[in-house]
Structure 1
Amino acid sequence: MNNLQKSLIALVAGSLLSVSAQAALFSGVAGYTGQPYSGVKVGQYSPDDVDDDAFSYGVYGGYKFTPEFGVEAEYLTTNDADAFDDEFEKAEYSGDVYGLYATYDYVFPNTALYAKGRLGIAKNEIDVDYTDNFDTRENDSFSESDTGVAGGLGLGYNLTPMASIEAMYNFYPSVEDLDVDGITVGAHFKF
């Protein structure tokens, strides 16, 4: 990990702690007691320059310090998808994302609809299985990963005071110069 990545991680971690501390201070003043939540999500994981996008699925959970500010963690994984496939060779990939984010929700007045933004750090890991159709000695499996800034923007809807659904566009750290983004739909329950 180079110095720029370490600096970005330190900056994001410090920002998360600062937002959390300020939100906790505000919550005590306004009487908001905070609210944990957890849920599941499905979607599409899309690295650049691959033949097929992968189907993604995962879990997420968080804590709202105020009605607007919170923190969220997620784990997302994918099925195997084709990076490329021709008569001579084939490569399949799968991905895993581990993330920690600060969140901000804006509730539209007089509706159950809200906009959500999140920014934080994530580890993005891509596993690749390469198959040479003519020389099996060339077959290989390897993994590449990177940790860096990640986030997303989306819309949510409060079905009840204790259950919500969300649709989000997400961006993840680049891996070996491959930009990776995705779209997810999730549902979570508040405790």
Structure 2
Amino acid sequence: MKTLQKTLLALAAGSLLSVSAQAAITYGNGYTGQPYVGVKVGQFDTDVDGDDPTAYGVYAGYNFDPNFGMEVEYVGSDDADLDNSFNGEYDIKTYGAYGTYRYAFPNTALYAKGKLGIAKTELEADFNNGGSDSIDDTGIAGGIGLGYAISPDFNVEAEYAMMDSDSDASLLTIGAHVKF
């Protein structure tokens, strides 16, 4: 292995250990950071003439404190029918990274969630005449939602998200995640 590669590997390992140690620090209110992973299902809404595709996704996040965190997600769709002069099918994929804010309603397990970040949206269409088209756009994305903590480590959420893209895609989902 070359010296530069060894140095980069050592720096990456050291950074990972440092982040892990930082995550274990207890904040003044007794809260330690908490990672989570989840799945979601829903429906895309686009300006494309045709059916709206069903969406399936996975996401992961990290809460730095009870209110602020970060989240990444991937959401893809099944094939939906096009309803234009070419006829055919299309699908959508989005990849996003967001900063999140949660507000817990007092004396309940209910919370409101907002997120703002960047998402890449890919829309691919295959026409019955043999042609195809695609849109690949990255822009500002955000969402709002409501969640309910079924237990301290298991939450369910309903969310509406908008992606700033040429297809004007929005997404309505229901999801569940588990905290570690």
Assess same fold via TM > 0.5.
Answer: yes
For normalisation by structure 2, the TM-score amounts to 0.82
Matched, 1:148 2:145: no
The residue that corresponds to 2:162 in the other structure is 171
Q: Deviations over 1:146-169 (max 9, x none)?
A: 001001001000000000000001
What is the CA-CA distance between 1:73 and the residue it aligns to? 0.3
How far, CA to CA, are the matches of 1:117 and 1:179 in structure 2?
19
How far, CA to CA, are the matches of 2:42 and 2:79 in structure 1?
14
What is the CA-CA distance between 1:92 and the residue it aligns to? 1.2
For normalisation by structure 1, the TM-score amounts to 0.78
How well do the aligned residues superpose, as a CA RMSD in angstroms? 1.7
How far, CA to CA, are the matches of 2:110 and 2:122 in structure 1?
33
How far, CA to CA, are the matches of 2:171 and 2:82 in structure 1?
16
The residue that corresponds to 2:32 in the other structure is 33
Q: Any unmatched runs of 5+ in structure 1?
A: 1-23, 133-138
Secondary structure of the residue aligned to 2:168 is strand
How far, CA to CA, are the matches of 2:48 and 2:37 in structure 1?
33
The residue that corresponds to 1:160 in the other structure is 151
Find the partner of 1:182 among 155, 171, 174: 171
The residue that corresponds to 1:123 in the other structure is 120
Task: Please say which of residues 89-98 and 163-172 is displaced more in the overlay.
Answer: 89-98
The residue that corresponds to 1:53 in the other structure is 52
Secondary structure of the residue aligned to 1:60 is strand
- Between the two proteins, the alignment pairs up a number of residues equal to 157
Higher percent of residues as helix = 1
Secondary structure of the residue aligned to 1:51 is coil
Find the partner of 1:90 among 79, 87, 92: 87
Q: Deviations over 1:91-123 (max 9, x none)?
A: 311000000000000000000000000000000
Higher percent of residues as strand = 1
The residue that corresponds to 2:20 in the other structure is none
Q: Any unmatched runs of 5+ in structure 2?
A: 1-22
